[in-house]
Amino acid sequence: MRWINTRPSRGAQLALTLLPFVLLIVAYAFGSAARLAENTNDKLLPGFADFADAINRLVFVADPRTGEYLLWSDTAASLVRLFAGLGISTVTALVIGMLIGMLPYLRALLSPFVAVISMVPPLALLPILFIVMGLGEASKIALIAIGVAPTMIRDLALKALELPREQIVKAETLGGSSWQIGLRVVLPQILPRLITCLRLQLGPAWLFLIAAEAISSDSGLGYRIFLVRRYLSMDMIFPYVVWITLLAVVMNYILDRIRVALFPWSEPEKQA
C-alpha cells in the first residue's frame, strides 16, 4: 500500500481538519493558564473569560463616546474600503489582462510595464499615496488596487495566452472579429480564473488595508488594532484578528461557490 493512494474517510477528514485548530486552542489555554498563575494581571495571554468580556463590549455595548458598536462600525468601514479596492482591481485586471493576452501589440507595450509594477512593494508606495492623494479614503483604496491589480493582470494575461490557438483560428474562420472573439471565446474561459485570482489576492488585500488603516485612519479594523496595542489590550486584539480571518475565509468560500455556480465545468474533478 502506498500512502499516495490512501484517502481518509469523511469522518477522518473532518477530524484531521479540526485537529490543528483544537491543538492551537489547547496550547493557548495551557500557556494562558501558566502566565495567569504567575501574574493574574498578565495581559499578554488573557484568559477566555477576558475574551468573552471584551467581545461583549465590542459587539453588544455601544461606545459611550460615539454611541457606535465598535466591532460593527469598524467592520463596515473596512469592508467598504476593501470592496472598493478589490472592485477596481477586478475590473482593471479583467480588461487589461484580456487585452494583453489577446493583442500582440498591447502585449509588447504593457506586459513589461505591468511586470515591473508588480515587483514594486506596495507598502513602500503608501507614503507617496498619502502625500499625493491625502489621508482620506482614496489613498487606502488606491493602495489595495495598486497592490492587487498587477498580479491579477499578469495571471489573466497568461491564462488568455494559454488558450488553444485552434479556438481562435476557428472563430476567425467563422468570421468573428477581434471583439467578438474576445467576448465569446476568451472572456468566458478566463472568468473562472478571474474569480480564482480574486480569491488568491484576498490575503494581500487585507494586508494592505490593515497597514493603511493603522497609519492614518479614524475607523476600521486595522485602526482599532493599532489603537489598543499601546495599552497591550490583547483581549481586544485577538478577537479582531480572529474576526478578520473569519471574514476572509467567508469571502473566499462565497467566491468559490460563485465560481462553481456560474462555471460548473471549472470545478476540478475529484477522485473517489
The candidate with the shortest Cα–Cα distance to 213, out of 233, 200, 229, is: 229
The Cα 261–Cα 140 span in angstroms is 32
Q: Is 260 exposed, middle or buried (0-12, 13-18, 19+ CB in 10 A)?
A: middle
Q: In this predicted structure, what is the pLDDT of residue 272? A: 37
Tell me which residues of the chain have a pLDDT lower than 50: 269-272
Which pLDDT belongs to residue 268? Answer: 65
123 DSSP assignment: G
pLDDT of residue 176: 80
Q: What pLDDT score does 172 carry?
A: 84
Angle at 116 between CA 112 and CA 122, to 5 degrees: 150
Contact 101, 159 (CB under 8 A): yes
pLDDT at res. 271: 41
Q: What pLDDT is recorded for position 1?
A: 61
pLDDT tens column, 135-180:
889 999 999 999 999 999 999 999 999 888 888 888 888 888 888 8
Instruction: For the chain, state the CA radius of gyration.
Output: 23
Given the C-alpha cell 461557490, which residue does it identify? 257
Whether 73 and 197 have beta carbons less than 8 Å apart is answered as no
Q: pLDDT (tens digit, 9 = 90+) per residue, 194-208?
A: 999 999 999 999 999
User: What is the reported pLDDT for 201?
Assistant: 95
Q: Compute CA distances 17 → 28, 43, 172, 247, whole Å.
A: 18, 30, 49, 19
The conformational region for residue 220 under phi > 0 = left, psi -120 to 50 = alpha, else beta, is: left
For the record, the C-alpha cell of 82 comes out as 476593501
Tell me 268's DSSP state: P
Q: Output the pLDDT for position 93.
A: 95
Q: Which of 94-127 are b and which e, b meaning 16 or more Cβ less than 10 Å from the residue's Cβ? A: bebbbbbbbeeeebeebbeebeebbeeebeebbe
Whole-angstrom Cα distance, residue 223 to residue 217? Answer: 6
